[in-house]
Amino acid sequence: MSTPPPLSSTGFLRWAWRQLTSMKTALVLLFLLALASVPGSVLPQRGIDPIKVREWIADAPTWGPILDRFGFFDVYSSPWFSAVYLLLFLSLVGCVIPRVGVHYRAMRSTPPPAPRFLDRFAGTRELPLQGTPAEALDAARTALRSAHWRVVSGPVDQPTWVSAERGYLRETGNLVFHVSLLLVLVSIAFGGLFGWKGNVIVRQGASFSNTLTQYDAWGGGRFASAQSLPPFSFTLDEFTVDFERGVAQRGAPRAFEADVTYRASPEAPAQRAVIAVNEPLAVDGAKVFLVGHGYAPVVRITDRQGTVVFDDAVPFLPQDGNFTSTGVVKVPDASPQIGLQALFLPTAALDQTLGPHSTFPAPDDPALFMSAWKGDLGLDAGEPQSVYRLVTDKMTKIGLGQLRPGQTWTLPDGSGTVTLAGYTRWASFQIAQDPGKEIALLAVAIAIMGLTLSLFIRRRRVWVKITDRDGVTVVQLAGILRTSTVDDEDIGALADDLDLLERSLAAAGVVPEPASPEEES
Amino acid sequence: MSPESLARMSNVAIYSSMLTLTLAMFAFAASFAGQRRRPAAAPAVEAAAREGGAAVLTRAPVATDEVPGRRAANIGMALSWLSFFLLLAGVVLRGIWAGRAPWGNMYEFSITAALGILGVFLFTNLKVDLRWLGLFVVIPVLLTLGVAVTILYTEAAQLVPALKSYWLVIHVLAAIVCAGAFTMAAATAGLSLVRDRAERKAGKGGTVTGVVASRMPDAERLRSLTNRILAFAFPLWTFTVVAGAIWAENAWGRYWGWDPKETWAFITWVVYAAYLHARSTAGWRGNRASWIALAGWAAFLMNYFGVNFLASSLHSYAGIS
């Protein structure tokens, strides 16, 4: 960044490209990436918890909308976050691609000739020559070749030096690592474009078939087609759940699993399987994950005449760790229409401050607390309504009631009865297909291998040279490390290379036996 | 053996380990008080770092001569080994008591992380003389254990279903070794900053002064040690994050979801990636790289403690309320 940008347009572009692909820019972009990731871990994110985002914005009327405007509740898909990582990858491409060419040529070419004088290299060794120069150089070539060095000697007419290099895999690993990162990004994008996922709540005993209309929520990438979902189906035969009853972590879930019967396609034979956390069901390219569970009280409602107008298990949504669950029952067939806003408590308790709440997630003492309404449910207005919310604008409250299983509550205005017939469980499943994840995993595995090579392999050069020292012919050994940073260990490793080379030459009889390490001072 | 006595033995082992570790800390501190200035470390590295080209081709001389304070440091090392084995016993007994890998809540993570830090230090010391680093490793280990037994302690219980997976063993084991390596690298990076300051104050050829700085190896040697530790830890951390992603895919149906724990693991990864880039960028490989190494450790700590307490996360398994 020392020179100012040139004014001509091509010159400026070239300058800008050089700046973008410089190591300093990469460093700055890495810092920016780390920094840009932080807000998403502090502020609630729409992709994870949209309800919390709504609450947060409602609680902060000044800052909420401003932060929202700048994408702080969708950090990881916001333009500024995308800009940082795309620039980083652009800088990576600009830095790595030219180096691929350079490295390819370096790997195919021979090492450069030995320098004219080896004296200036620290640690140069001089050993008296025994035998002819040709024998010494031959011995050096053989020893280095068998140790997998790339070797060249010269001059052609009368060789006086051998130059050898190894550790090319360092740069190979480095390049493979960075290219694999690109592949990871591509496979994430691929999975995003072609993958899909959906969520569905299935009551015990009920069935699910994989079509769009059956999902409570479904989202797919740009190229994911809802028409081509794999045609599997399953029935939730039984859902078992177990909670900690000991003092430590009381109420924490200990096991939950779903016994299902599934068919890979309508014609396929029925198969039984268990879906549990960490044990998804893989079927026809998609995976079925167990992600949650809850209670579905079985409610029976009769009207004024005693006719049963509603009789079904209604999934309630858990609100806390003890499964205090809320839900709504809508009876459009009654006249006037009836609606219940209710709390299902698996282990009921009532106190002054908390009101009705559950004290343990298992159904030790279940109860249903509710307020009953009558009037117009608003279902005919054509506006889509949540099944978990009762719109009470055109309704009047009849009264408050509570029921234990088997009990019946006669509505105070005589418009009917409500019976809690019992309860069942439901399980929620996430069903997803991500065609990019296998490639991503493969790319990451290659990346780690490349990374390891690039961090642990040392690229170094050694030379053997026959030269004249005060009228005596000597063999010179020297070497350098070709890495950007050098520490004691690297230096020691290069010294070891030279030790090995010296011993090989001594074994060939062209230099004297080196002193054994014990005798060294 | 009854579960209660296993639990008691695990706790006794961990408290004993803390006691011996405290003694080790005093021994290391005493070695600082008694030890005179170390013989100047080999100038080899300085020469080597100049151009990245020519390098001195001798192994750095190992200081073998007995200096005052060495004895105290040796006592510190012996006590550290004793603490290590006591802590190992504590962790293993905890695992037997719980009937699973002892990594089900923050208390168990912390005692194992302490074991990891101490282990990385002691085993590295078998290859490279790191006695001078003892005090700066023992202090964070003691702090970790202190927080574990006072704030984080929980009775052993079974795992929540999401943790019931062999990935718990793979993912957490790798994370714990990383915890050890990151902590050690933070110690050497911090010391390199202290030493570097003292060296600049002393000027070229001057005598380095200062209680800590005068007893440390050269700043350049500390920096290359930091680099070496992080070159080992970075691929392992990459593996840890990937193993976590595979596990997440299995348990929650997506391999990456920007959960706070995942986000901070990513931030930690990016900061250490920046460190490695800084080490090969002119003008950045000195003190700036050391500061980045410290920032990486801060991100790691944020991930380990901060996320579990501050953010609501799928990874909320602290097991304390």
How far apart are the CA of A112 and the nearest CA of chain B, in angstroms? 15
Query: The pTM is what?
Result: 0.83
Whether B169 contacts chain A with CB within 8 A:
no
Residues of A with Cβ-Cβ distance to B252 under 8 angstroms? 289, 291, 430
Q: Are B189 and B306 in a shared domain?
A: yes
Interface-testing mutation among A491, A494, A496, A501, with chain B (most B C-beta atoms within 10 A): A491
Whether B277 contacts chain A with CB within 8 A:
yes
Q: Which range is least confidently modeled, A56-65, A110-119, B150-159?
A: B150-159
Q: Are B73 and B180 in a shared domain?
A: no
Domain membership of residue B48 (yes or no) is no
Instruction: Write the DSSP symbol of residue A287.
Output: E
Whether A438 contacts chain B with CB within 8 A:
no
Domain membership of residue B119 (yes or no) is no
Mean pLDDT, rounded, for A34-49: 87
pLDDT at B317: 53
CB-count exposure of residue A183 (10 Å: 0-12, 13-18, 19+) = middle
Task: Tell me how crowded residue B42 is: count the other CB atoms within 10 A of its CB.
Answer: 20
Mean pLDDT, rounded, for A144-148: 91
How far apart are the CA of A138 and the nearest CA of chain B, in angstroms? 24
Put simply, the answer to whether B55 touches A26 (Cβ < 8 Å) is: no
Of B44, B52, B299, which has the smallest distance from its Cβ to A483's Cβ? B52
Put simply, the answer to whether A289 touches B253 (Cβ < 8 Å) is: yes
Of A123, A124, A291, which has the smallest distance from its Cβ to B252's Cβ? A291
Q: How confident is the model at residue A519 (pLDDT cuts 50, 70, 90)?
A: very low
Distance CA A487, CA B55 (A): 9
Task: Tell me how crowded residue B138 is: count the other CB atoms within 10 A of its CB.
Answer: 26
Asked whether residue B51 carries a pLDDT value surpassing 60, the answer given is no
Task: Tell me how crowded residue B150 is: count the other CB atoms within 10 A of its CB.
Answer: 8
Mean pLDDT, rounded, for B116-126: 92
Domain membership of residue B110 (yes or no) is no
Terminal C-alpha separation, chain A: 50
Mean pLDDT, rounded, for A216-243: 86
Asked whether residue B321 carries a pLDDT value surpassing 50, the answer given is no
Q: Are B86 and B201 in a shared domain?
A: no
Chain B residues 27-56 within an 8 A CB cutoff of chain A: 42, 44-45, 47-49, 52-56
A426-457 pLDDT, tens per residue? 999 999 888 888 999 999 999 999 999 998 88
Put simply, the answer to whether A487 touches B227 (Cβ < 8 Å) is: yes
Mean pLDDT, rounded, for A319-348: 90
Whether B234 contacts chain A with CB within 8 A:
yes
User: Residue A253, preceding bond cis, omega within 30 degrees?
Assistant: no
Put simply, the answer to whether A24 touches B281 (Cβ < 8 Å) is: yes
Put simply, the answer to whether A278 touches B161 (Cβ < 8 Å) is: yes
The pair of three-digit structure tokens given for residue A368, joined into one six-digit string: 């249903």
B246-274 pLDDT, tens per residue? 988 888 788 888 888 899 999 999 999 99
Q: Are B193 and B289 in a shared domain?
A: yes
pLDDT at A319: 86
Q: Are B175 and B321 in a shared domain?
A: yes
Asked whether residue A223 carries a pLDDT value surpassing 80, the answer given is yes
The residue among B122, B151, B180 that closes a domain is B151
Residues of B with Cβ-Cβ distance to A444 under 8 angstroms? 238, 242
**Count of domains in chain B?**
2
The 3-state secondary structure of A47-71 reads CCCHHHHHHHHHHCCCHHHHHHHCC
A112-138 pLDDT, tens per residue? 888 888 888 877 888 888 888 888 999
Whether B319 contacts chain A with CB within 8 A:
yes
Whether A109 contacts chain B with CB within 8 A:
no
pLDDT at B167: 83
pLDDT at B47: 41
ipTM confidence score: 0.82
Q: Are B89 and B163 in a shared domain?
A: no
A240-276 pLDDT, tens per residue? 988 888 776 777 777 788 999 999 988 889 999 999 8
The residue among B151, B180, B215 that closes a domain is B151
Regarding predicted confidence, which is higher, B102 or B68? Answer: B102
Domain membership of residue B204 (yes or no) is yes
Put simply, the answer to whether B279 touches A291 (Cβ < 8 Å) is: no
Domain membership of residue B125 (yes or no) is no
Q: Are B177 and B303 in a shared domain?
A: yes
Contacts by A184-188 with C-beta closer than 8 Å and gap 24+? Answer: A184/A440, A184/A443, A184/A444, A184/A447, A185/A85, A185/A89, A186/A439, A187/A436, A187/A437, A187/A439, A187/A440, A187/A443, A188/A436, A188/A440, A188/B256
How far apart are the CA of A392 and the nearest CA of chain B, in angstroms? 33
Q: Are B168 and B296 in a shared domain?
A: yes
Could you give the C-alpha distances from B251 to A205, B168, B254, in angstroms and in order?
24, 12, 8
Asked whether residue B291 carries a pLDDT value surpassing 90, the answer given is yes
Residues of A with Cβ-Cβ distance to B165 under 8 angstroms? 278
Whether A479 contacts chain B with CB within 8 A:
yes
How many residue pairs from chains A and B have C-beta atoms closer than 8 A? 203
Distance CA A24, CA B48 (A): 23
A343-398 pLDDT, tens per residue? 999 999 888 888 888 989 899 999 999 999 998 888 877 677 778 888 888 899 98
Q: How confident is the model at residue B235 (pLDDT cuts 50, 70, 90)?
A: very high
Of all residues in chain A, the percent with pLDDT exceeding 70 is 96
Put simply, the answer to whether A248 touches B307 (Cβ < 8 Å) is: no
Q: How confident is the model at residue B43 (pLDDT cuts 50, 70, 90)?
A: very low
- Nearest CA among A213, A68, A26 for reference residue B274: A26
How far apart are the CA of B264 and the nearest CA of chain A, in angstroms? 8
Domain membership of residue B117 (yes or no) is no
Residues of A with Cβ-Cβ distance to B320 under 8 angstroms? none
Distance CA B196, CA A299 (A): 75
A175-187 pLDDT, tens per residue? 999 999 999 999 9
The pair of three-digit structure tokens given for residue B226, joined into one six-digit string: 């930091």
Put simply, the answer to whether B239 touches A448 (Cβ < 8 Å) is: yes
Q: Are B74 and B192 in a shared domain?
A: no
Q: Which range is least confidently modeled, A175-179, B72-76, B224-228, B251-255?
A: B251-255
Residues 6 or more apart whose CB falls under 8 angstroms from that of B177 comprise B116, B119, B120, B233, B236
Put simply, the answer to whether B55 touches A278 (Cβ < 8 Å) is: no
Whether A50 contacts chain B with CB within 8 A:
no
Put simply, the answer to whether A122 touches B53 (Cβ < 8 Å) is: no
DSSP track, A432-461: EE-TTHHHHHHHHHHHHHHHHHHHH---EE
Asked whether residue B44 carries a pLDDT value surpassing 60, the answer given is no
Q: Are B243 and B299 in a shared domain?
A: yes
Report whether A73 contacts A53 (CB < 8 A).
yes
Domain membership of residue B54 (yes or no) is no
3-class DSSP assignment, residue A416:
strand
Residues of B with Cβ-Cβ distance to A23 under 8 angstroms? 277, 280-281
Instruction: Write the DSSP symbol of residue B215.
Output: G
Spell out the domains of chain A, with CATH numbers in brackets. 12-105 (no CATH), 110-166+458-513 (3.30.310.80), 196-433 (no CATH)
Put simply, the answer to whether A122 touches B251 (Cβ < 8 Å) is: no
CB-count exposure of residue A518 (10 Å: 0-12, 13-18, 19+) = exposed
User: Residue A115, preceding bond cis, omega within 30 degrees?
Assistant: no
B173-220 pLDDT, tens per residue? 899 899 999 999 999 999 999 999 999 988 877 788 777 788 888 898
Residues of A with Cβ-Cβ distance to B317 under 8 angstroms? none
Domain membership of residue B116 (yes or no) is no
Q: How confident is the model at residue A108 (pLDDT cuts 50, 70, 90)?
A: confident
Q: How far is CA A24 from the centre of its chain?
A: 27
Mean pLDDT, rounded, for B89-112: 86
DSSP track, A486-502: --HHHHHHHHHHHHHHH
pLDDT at B34: 61
- Nearest CA among B184, B217, B187, B186 for reference residue B199: B217
Chain A residues 251-290 within an 8 A CB cutoff of chain B: 252-256, 276-280, 287, 289
Of B250, B256, B273, which has the smallest distance from its Cβ to A30's Cβ? B273
Average pLDDT, rounded, for chain A: 87
Put simply, the answer to whether A48 touches B264 (Cβ < 8 Å) is: no
Distance CA A169, CA A175 (A): 10
How far apart are the CA of B312 and the nearest CA of chain A, in angstroms? 9
Q: Which range is least confidently modeled, A281-285, A417-421, A486-490?
A: A486-490
Whether B320 contacts chain A with CB within 8 A:
no
How far apart are the CA of A306 and the nearest CA of chain B, in angstroms? 46
Task: Tell me how crowded residue A491 is: count the other CB atoms within 10 A of its CB.
Answer: 24
Whether A80 contacts chain B with CB within 8 A:
no
How far apart are the CA of B97 and the nearest CA of chain A, in angstroms? 14
Of all residues in chain B, the percent with pLDDT exceeding 70 is 83
Q: Are B278 and B200 in a shared domain?
A: yes
Mean pLDDT, rounded, for A500-512: 89
Three-point CA angle A199, A205, A206, nearest 5°: 45
Could you give the C-alpha distances from A169 to A103, A173, A315, in angstroms and in order?
10, 6, 59
Whether A124 contacts chain B with CB within 8 A:
yes
pLDDT at A484: 67
Q: How confident is the model at residue A516 (pLDDT cuts 50, 70, 90)?
A: low
Q: Which domain holds residue B17?
A: 1-37+69-103+131-151
Report whether B71 contacts B33 (CB < 8 A).
no
Q: Are B201 and B249 in a shared domain?
A: yes
Chain A residues 334-363 within an 8 A CB cutoff of chain B: none
Whether A432 contacts chain B with CB within 8 A:
yes
Residue B195 phi, psi dihedral angles, 5° rounding: -65, -40
